[in-house]
Amino acid sequence: MSTATPTRAPQHDAPAGEQPGGGRVGGGLFDPRQLLTSLPDAVRKLDPRVMVKSPVMFVVLVGSVVTTVLACADPTDWFGWAITAWLWLTTVFANLAEAVAEGRGKAQADTLRKAKTDSVARRLGEDGTGEERIPGSRLRIGDMVVCEAGDTIPGDGDVVQGVASVDESAITGESAPVIRESGGDRSAVTGGTKVLSDRITIRITTRPGETFIDRMINLVEGAARQKTPNEIALNILLASLTIVFLLAVVTLQPFAVYAGAEQSMIVLTALLVCLIPTTIGALLSAIGIAGMDRLVQRNVLAMSGRAVEAAGDVSTLLLDKTGTITFGNRQAAEFLPVPGTTEDELADAAQLSSLADETPEGRSVVVLAKERYGLRERHQGELAHAEWIAFTAQTRMSGVDVDGRKVRKGAAGSVIAWVRERGGQIGEAAGELADRIAQAGGTPLLVAVEDGRGARVLGVLHLKDVVKDGMRERFDELRRMGIKTVMITGDNPLTAKAIADEAGVDDFLAEATPEDKMALIKREQAGGKLVAMTGDGTNDAPALAQADVGVAMNTGTSAAKEAGNMVDLDSDPTKLIEIVEIGKQLLITRGALTTFSIANDVAKYFAIIPAMFAVVYPGLDTLNIMRLASPQSAILSAVVFNALIIVALVPLALKGVRYRPTSADRMLRRNLGLYGLGGLIAPFVGIKLIDLLLSLLPGIG
């Protein structure tokens, strides 16, 4: 698995609400101003064709219409009008929750639309020569187009020739340009981005209207969001409860007539609306949209809500070693001299031989020699008379000839052969040191010199993959969440084990091929586990498609992005851990608010049932534990509370319940204690307070 090094800093620590492309859409925090801006959308959603998608709220809408007709029949009935008004507010508030959640993506969508310009494409002829200028909307899959500095890329595709610097701020919000080149894992380009330098030839891979930006616009607006399996299952449960309560209320009237306490249709409708789970029915869609929005805030585009949910249930996490667990470039860790050589002498020779080495490994040798041994950092310009020996795949060495001295640094076999060619002797110490480093999972490089004392090995330079800070703690956190971590690497098993032990992962797959990754994912899935992984190359595409959560890097190929069900615009592989946490937060939020909603209904029994029948059955007055002022006040207080609690919970639905890594049983106990008990207590307090206010009004107390 090859992971391209990110070309810009990750943005997941950006302030809440700051969206890619510079749009501000409210973030994960609740902004009261969104209520006003989203109110027109909430009213438009009163269309029965829209409301019928939520059975619970559709029943509330029908109840609102029924009470409106009944109130119109008796214009002097203030109680009927009050119930009618609050039922309509309940319906609007439910739509408002969804409208606010959807509105949070509008600023992002508007920013993306600005990037969708009607660009002109320079299409090449079938023979690869000659240019034809056509509108970008006429491009088809397989067309070859040319883009130079200043051109806007007309459509999604892969670079097939050349290398260029590209401004992708339109989709990532990051102003730093990125490099796109042919033949690697950074070949994918996105329509609407701008070429800043050089010239590239692009093969178009998508049709107009189906580009990456088009899909982003649909997804962030919620237009393409479909209900997930868990949402569908919960909707079925809520619909079933609604039917049960509907039957209960319908059959209640005959008993009331028999008891001589016939109830009005307005009272029965109020009872039905208060008993069905309106709270979670109103917030369910908003919770799902907000979960996807939290990913967008972290520059992750989820292609479906199903992927976000699956992330919350992931039990196996496949992580690439390079760029995810380690920094991706080997760094010098220590200098180990052979007997007869001092560390300072070895460090000086290693630094000297690395001055012309512009690789990350070479620069790390210079820095280590300077920081640990106090050697002044020298520059090539100071050694104008030196002859620099560049590294080649044939020699596997680099170095410098200066002041009558020849210094070489490279692979053990190559350096040993170089010393022997010059009549030098190789002691056992150098080989032992090299073997010890290799067994520890590092890479040994020998440093040798030829001077007046002859050719000899000075010591061994230890290069190692540096594990990122905090990775062990993050893996411990995942373990507490019940998630198994597997490191994937192309390294040999010895090196892989050393890195796995240092990082603290549960398992590793060494010398991994695309077939090995697929086999591992299928093996885990066969055991009933959900698997998540990251990837950016074409060779990762099969595994990304097979994984339940496949996170493709935006710097990767089109094949990888098409195969995955999420795209990380920052190309930060470690973000997979955050994605899992967001998925769990979505599931916990839905479960917590469902618990709260169902527990809510218990208090409403104690408010409405005694008010309906206490006159006929005085014994029921003992159930009026809230000591509500009057039957009308009790029923109206319950209806008002039922509407207001939806608005009160909108911020929690959008922000999400805070997730803490813990076991499932502890999480269940916590949610039952907090949201179950809270759902029981809150209505008693809220309904009583509303009743006290209503009792001050004439004709109610």
- Residues in the annotated binding site for Mg(2+): 536, 540
Integer Cα distance of 315 and 617 in angstroms: 56
Contact (CB, 8 A) for 545 and 518: no
| Of 488, 301, 327, residue with least CA distance to 5 | 327
CA distances from 392 to 332, 350, 354, 355, 412 (A): 20, 18, 14, 16, 15
Q: Which residues are annotated as a binding site?
A: 357, 361, 391-398, 409, 536, 540
144-148/199-204 β-pairing: antiparallel
Q: Which two tokens stand for residue 207?
A: 């049709």
Contact (CB, 8 A) for 237 and 595: no
3 state DSSP class of 164: strand
DSSP labels, 283-307:
HHHHHHHHHHHHHHHTTEEES-HHH
What is the sign, positive or negative, of the torsion defined by CA atoms of 148, 149, 153, 157? positive
Order of all β-strands in the sheet with 300-302: 300-302, 566-568, 549-553, 531-535, 316-320, 484-488, 507-509
Contact (CB, 8 A) for 398 and 410: yes
Q: Which two tokens stand for residue 463?
A: 């290069």
DSSP labels, 207-221:
-TT-SHHHHHHHHHH
Q: Which two tokens stand for residue 482?
A: 């019940």
Kindly name the residue from 320, 348, 548, 572 that is annotated as catalytic. Answer: 320
CA distances from 281 to 51, 58, 227, 275, 599 (A): 11, 10, 13, 12, 14
For the chain, the farthest-separated pair of C-alpha atoms sits apart, in whole angstroms, at: 119
- Active-site annotation holds for 47: no
CA distances from 15 to 29, 30, 328 (A): 11, 14, 27
Contact (CB, 8 A) for 128 and 319: no
Cβ neighbors of 202 (< 8 A, separation 6 or more) are 144, 145, 146, 147, 153, 155, 157, 158, 159, 160, 189
Q: Which residues are annotated as a binding site for ATP?
A: 357, 361, 391-398, 409
144-148/157-167 β-pairing: unpaired
- Beta-ladder partners of 337: 459
- Beta-ladder partners of 164: 180
Integer Cα distance of 95 and 41 in angstroms: 8
3 state DSSP class of 32: coil
| Of 340, 341, 362, residue with least CA distance to 353 | 362
Cβ neighbors of 250 (< 8 A, separation 6 or more) are none
Burial class from Cβ neighbours inside 10 Å (0-12, 13-18, 19+) for residue 140 reads: exposed
Catalytic residues: 320
